Each structure stands twice: as structure tokens, then as C-alpha cells.
């Protein structure tokens, strides 16, 4: 099995996701980062980006890949 297909502690996912976002240069001080059913990224105004993620503790790739995709919009 792939390493993404293992059970992950749901309580630790937000801190992992924050770490990934900061590692790619996403500034979490200029917006929000919240849980949702469908990931998206929206800019309310300059310096105010709303990034929403989903969680899937059984297959973390279904959370990480959309998170990074949406973060790319936010970085742009």
C-alpha cells in the first residue's frame, strides 16, 4: 500500500497542513485556513485570502493534493 493510504490522526492534520502551506510560502497571517466539505481558495481583498481544506484521514492524498492546489491560487 502507498504511504498515503494509512489512517492518520485527524487532530494532527491541521498542523501538518499548516506546515505544508508555510513550507511553500503561503502566509497564514494574511487570511484564514478552515475546514470545509469542498476545498477552495478565495481572495476577499489584498492580504486577505480564504483557504479551505477537507480532511480524509483514510487517504491523506485526497486532502493534501487539493490543499496544495488551492494554496497555489492563494500564492498567485
29-64 per-residue burial string, b: 16 or more CB within 10 A, e: under 16: eebebeeeeebebeeeeeeebbbbbebeeeebebbb
The one catalytic residue among 52, 63, 70, 74: 70
How large is the angle between the packed helices 13-23 and 61-75, nearest 10 degrees?
40
Is 30 catalytic? The answer is no
Q: Is 73 helix (H, G, I), strand (E, B) or coil?
A: helix
Residues labelled catalytic: 70
Amino acid at each position: 500500500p502507498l504511504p498515503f493510504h494509512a489512517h492518520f490522526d485527524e487532530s494532527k492534520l491541521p498542523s501538518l497542513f499548516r506546515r505544508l502551506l508555510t513550507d511553500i510560502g503561503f502566509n497564514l497571517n494574511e487570511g484564514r485556513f478552515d475546514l470545509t466539505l469542498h476545498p477552495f481558495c478565495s481572495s476577499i481583498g489584498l492580504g486577505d485570502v480564504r483557504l479551505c481544506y477537507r480532511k480524509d484521514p483514510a487517504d491523506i492524498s485526497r486532502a493534501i493534493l487539493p490543499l496544495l492546489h488551492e494554496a497555489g491560487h492563494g500564492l498567485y
